[in-house]
Amino acid sequence: MITLVENKLDVETYLALRASVNWKKLSKEQAQKALDNSLYIICAYDGDRPVGMGRIVGDGAVICYVQDLVICPDVQGKGIGGQILSRLKEYVNDTLKLENTEMMFALMCAKGREDFYKKYDFIARPTDNLGPGMIQYL
């Protein structure tokens, strides 16, 4: 059974989950600062084993981003990513979004993962009205 735990992700677990999907290595200091500056974090456990996580970053009023949605490869396809994404969206909608406002809920997904996010009502860019997302590494 999968258990979702809020705001209790330690840096070692965070780094291990990132490594499980071969993401770019971070220093321990960089990873800790990222966790400390997150608005909300969910970690998924299968028993005692951490198998996934996701976090929200942003200004908490106009825009929030899903950041680091990670599911260990051996448990992908079992609905864990959807559970985490739904909880993140629920938190933003119920806790951060100001009454009578609209809030942008955005993400940058890994290549090939677009269909997963489309199932949860995300819009792939570019569209007729929205340009492509862009990035720069410093």
Residue 104: closest CA among 37, 46, 59, 43: 59
Task: Give the per-residue pLDDT at 21.
Answer: 96
For residue 56, give the 3-state DSSP assignment: strand
Q: Show the tokens assigned to 28.
A: 């321990």
Please report whether residue 51 resides in a domain.
Answer: yes
Name the average pLDDT for the chain.
94
What's the domain count of the chain? 1
CATH number at residue 91: 3.40.630.30
Please report whether residue 129 resides in a domain.
Answer: no
The band of 42, judged by pLDDT with boundaries at 50, 70 and 90, is very high
- How far apart, in whole angstroms, are the C-alpha atoms of residue 81 and residue 75? 10
Say whether pLDDT at 14 is over 80: yes
- How far apart, in whole angstroms, are the C-alpha atoms of residue 63 and residue 11? 25
Task: Give the per-residue pLDDT at 125.
Answer: 87
- How far apart, in whole angstroms, are the C-alpha atoms of residue 107 and residue 92? 13
55-108 pLDDT per residue, tens:
999 999 999 999 999 999 999 999 999 999 999 999 999 999 999 999 999 999
Task: Give the per-residue pLDDT at 71.
Answer: 97
Please report whether residue 124 resides in a domain.
Answer: no
Cα separation values, 36 from 10, 41, 57, Å:
10, 10, 10
Say whether pLDDT at 136 is over 80: no
Please report whether residue 112 resides in a domain.
Answer: yes
Instruction: Give the residues across from 90 on adjacent strands.
Output: none
Task: Give the per-residue pLDDT at 64.
Answer: 95
Say whether pLDDT at 138 is over 80: no
The domain of 40 spans 2-118
Classify residue 83 as left (phi > 0), alpha (psi -120 to 50) or beta.
Answer: alpha
Task: Give the per-residue pLDDT at 63.
Answer: 95
Please report whether residue 126 resides in a domain.
Answer: no
